[in-house]
């Protein structure tokens, strides 16, 4: 029995050292060496100041900015409490929340054509998605153009410049990073 306990203890200590210390340190070192921007959170800085991350959405409420997807993460866009609403399609809370979001979007965007795109109405699975569809950006462009005293065509041209294609040409959908688009609207150059 003592021999088995000794073996189990040695295997446990070896596993803790290998998998709890050495492996994480090696992976962190490789990530920092090969992908430093991504390993440090894909931070976007302007004039030396961090203004956000390219991979974490933010709350935008002013009419001169594009809004991202709604967030169900914590109290909103909380990267430490990611997740969706987990409401099912028959949930009364989901239906009521969706109706309210649609009504709010239509009120805030009176010049938009058609109903709001679904990604502006529903939260993502993570609750912190930083991107919206190009259709959502174009749907919001009349409000943004009006608030900035710009033409819709100028705003649409800026959107077109910020559309990112599918990853590797076939994964996912085209998207627009809301933070990068809003920074471009402000005439700031993200680093």
Question: Can you list the alpha helix ranges (DSSP code H) found in 109-176?
Answer: 118-121, 134-148, 152-162
In a domain, 138, yes or no: yes
Q: 3-class SS at 122?
A: coil
List the Cα angle 151/65/166 in 5-degree steps.
Answer: 90
Residues 158 and 71 in one domain: yes
Residue 122 belongs to some domain of the structure: yes
Whether 127 contacts 83, CB under 8 Å: yes
Could you tell me if 143 and 58 lie in one domain?
yes
On whether residue 190 sits in a domain, the answer given is no
pLDDT, averaged per 10 consecutive residues of the chain (191 residues), comes to 91 96 96 92 89 91 94 82 83 92 95 95 88 97 95 95 95 95 80 41
Number of structural domains in the chain: 2
Report the distance separating Cα 28 and Cα 46, nearest Å: 26
pLDDT at 148: 93
Taken in order 97, 101, 103, 107, the sign of the CA dihedral is positive
Same domain, 36 and 110: no
What are the phi and psi torsion angles at 40 (to 5°)? -100, 15
Residue-level length of the chain: 191
Are 27 and 101 members of one domain?
A: no
Q: Is the domain of 33 the same as that of 67?
A: no
How high is the pLDDT of residue 188? 57
Domain with 162 in it: 42-185
């Amino acid at each position: 029995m003592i021999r088995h306990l000794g073996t189990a203890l040695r295997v446990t200590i070896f596993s803790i050292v290998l998998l709890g210390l050495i492996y994480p340190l090696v992976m962190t070192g490789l990530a920092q060496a090969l992908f430093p921007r991504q390993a440090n959170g894909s931070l976007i800085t302007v004039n030396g100041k961090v203004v956000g991350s390219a991979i974490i959405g933010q709350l935008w409420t002013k009419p001169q900015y594009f809004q991202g997807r709604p967030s169900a993460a914590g109290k909103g866009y909380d990267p430490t409490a990611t997740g969706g609403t987990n409401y099912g399609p028959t949930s009364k809370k989901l239906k009521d929340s969706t109706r309210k979001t649609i009504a709010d979007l239509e009120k805030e965007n009176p010049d938009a054509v058609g109903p709001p795109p679904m990604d502006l109405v529903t939260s993502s699975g993570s609750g912190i998605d930083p991107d919206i569809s190009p259709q959502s950006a174009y749907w919001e462009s009349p409000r943004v153009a009006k608030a900035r005293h710009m033409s819709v065509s100028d705003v649409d041209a800026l959107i077109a410049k910020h559309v990112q294609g599918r990853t590797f040409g076939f994964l996912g959908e085209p998207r627009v990073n809301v933070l990068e688009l809003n920074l471009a609207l402000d005439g700031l150059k993200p680093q």
